[in-house]
Chains A and B, each alone.
Chain A
Amino acid sequence: MTTAINFQNLTLGYDQHPAVSQLQSDIKEGSLTAIVGPNGAGKSTLLKGVVGSLAPLEGQIVLGSHACKSMAYLPQQSVIEQSFPLSVVDLVAMGLWQEIGPFGRINSERRSRVDDAISAVGLTGFETRIIGSLSGGQMQRALFARLLLQDAAIVLLDEPFKSVDSRTTADLICVIKSWHQEGRTVLAVLHDDETVRAHFPDTLMLARELVAHGPTSKVLTAENHFRARQMCEACDGPPHVCGRDAA
């Protein structure tokens, strides 16, 4: 299996303060990987690094040939401005950006694909609704429809089931599994171990540094959880010495 994402001694952070330190690992093409760890472990930071919105302080992220072509990213809902008067169909249609760019027209064929994506996440009938009127679960479904349209080789999900009811979670897991079956590489930041155990074959546990990476059953152990908590607590001191002191 070829490598989709290679973390080479990667350090990511803000204002020169590392949030992820000296990470060395590979994400295989077509894998379905959960990223877990305590709060402040650097999970969301890692996704921002992969998507390119945060430059490495040290090391690098090397993307495989497929990954370079396309990547879809679902940020946490809190960074989305839901008070903006945008309809569901317009939000979902943004997933066509790689095809249409800033000026391209949404013709009938593209509109039909937008409708299909909305239908696939169970939001038919909500097309003209303003996003501010959607519940947390409906909004997440709309964002998944946008991901569907992006048709990307790598899909990055930052806490996709946060503030979402169990039925929506189940529906969205079906979408994620279909991506996995299609051979896409999926990385999802998650907090619920049960969900990870049930649906994600691989897990990467972070505590600013790598705790463990491999099959979920071998990573989600009591020892690793204990070690991750200890490492994060050790890092709560001066952040610039975090990685080396904790090791």
Chain B
Amino acid sequence: MIFDIFFQPFYDYGFMRRALYGCIAISFGATPVGVFLMLRRMSLTGDAMAHAILPGAAMGYLVSGLSLGAMTIGGLIAGLTVALLSGFVSRLTALREDASLAAFYMISLALGVLIVSTRGSNIDLMHVLFGTVLALDNAALILLSSITTLSTLTLAIFFRPLVLECVDPQFLRSVSSLSAVTHFTFLALVVLNLVGGFHALGTLMSVGIMILPAASARFWTVSVGGLMTVAFVIAILSSLIGLLLSFNFSLPSGPAIILVVGVAYLISLAFGSADGIITQLVRRSQTTS
């Protein structure tokens, strides 16, 4: 019975195995980046960047159809352009970076939807917005694995300056010239992982696997390493359950996975051992009694 529910679909169907592998690859790269986004109070920046990659993916689609490479390169260019433009505007004018990012991502999103709507079909638009995790081929898996490897290595190299940039940016600026490089490298990692994620989960859903596990992990642990580990485990388990729900109940797989991570977040919010609401109430009642 348990085997039938949890393992049979992956045993019988290659597309389910590839989907699970794709989710593991995405989770491995995206969840540490999500942890840093959360710790830097930039969670909504991740959401904005996810919208910003849409016109690039759409342009790639226009040029080469549903081509993995073209859509990836297009998404990367669009995301990095929006990140750099937002940074430059905030440094050259009085507008803060979040406001300029909001402006550029809205322009970018509108442009992307316009391109796909006028030149493609609704199915194409749905593919870009919500992904096709059950249709990942070997080329897509290689791409996702490459992105995850590059992202993890880059994060390892920039780990110490990134922590300093989060905790005490003025100190980093006083001892090193790596501050700006670290900031933009981090934004590039966000874009890179979102572009990888959109092939499986779509531009709108890919940010979910980045932010929701990180936010959930905050209720279970407080160390940076612990946050990354717990976030990764939550992302993997949610992907597994989401895929099974999608398979057994014919649900769209991307939203199913993200909704399961959402349930994990709500459970963590209530019962998290570090900072969950119910845990806090129990601790308070024990202290007062």
Chain A residues proximal to chain B, CB less than 8 Å:
15, 48, 51-53, 71-73, 75, 79-81, 83-87, 90-91, 94, 97-98, 101-103, 130-131, 146, 150
Proximity string of chain B (95-135) to chain A, C-beta cutoff 8 Å, 1 when within and 0 when not: 00000000000000000000000000000000000000000
Name the CB-closest residue of B to A86.
B167
Minimum CB–CB distance from B167 to chain A (whole Å) comes to 5
B158 an interface residue at 8 Å Cβ cutoff? yes
Q: Would you call A52 and B158 a contact (CB within 8 A)?
A: no
Q: Would you call A84 and B174 a contact (CB within 8 A)?
A: no
Q: Would you call A73 and B167 a contact (CB within 8 A)?
A: no
Tell me the count of chain B residues lying within 8 A, CB to CB, of chain A: 23
Q: What chain A residues lie within 8 Å of B94 (beta carbons)? A: 15
List 15 extra interface pairs beyond A15-B94, A86-B167, CB under 8 A: A51-B173, A53-B170, A75-B168, A75-B171, A79-B169, A80-B168, A85-B222, A85-B223, A87-B223, A90-B163, A94-B168, A97-B164, A98-B175, A102-B158, A146-B171
Proximity string of chain B (133-161) to chain A, C-beta cutoff 8 Å, 1 when within and 0 when not: 00000000000000000000000011011
Minimum CB–CB distance from A64 to chain B (whole Å) comes to 18
Most chain A CB neighbours (cut-off 10 Å) among B158, B160, B222, B224? B160
Proximity string of chain B (190-204) to chain A, C-beta cutoff 8 Å, 1 when within and 0 when not: 000000000000000
B176 an interface residue at 8 Å Cβ cutoff? yes
Which applies to chain A's interface (DSSP): helix, strand, loop or mixed? mixed
* Bound CA span A71–B144, Å: 44
* Bound CA span A150–B222, Å: 28
B227 an interface residue at 8 Å Cβ cutoff? yes
Q: What chain A residues lie within 8 Å of B160 (beta carbons)? A: 102-103
* Bound CA span A63–B265, Å: 53
Minimum CB–CB distance from A41 to chain B (whole Å) comes to 20
> With A85-B222, A85-B224, A130-B222 given, is the CB distance from A102 to B168 under 8 Å?
no
* Bound CA span A15–B160, Å: 31
- Pick 14 A–B contacts, CB within 8 A, sort by A: A51-B170, A75-B171, A81-B168, A84-B39, A84-B163, A85-B222, A94-B164, A97-B176, A98-B175, A102-B161, A102-B176, A103-B157, A130-B222, A131-B167
* Bound CA span A91–B171, Å: 11
Q: Looking at the complex, which one of B39, B167, B178, B223 makes contact with A102 (CB distance below 8 Å)?
A: B178
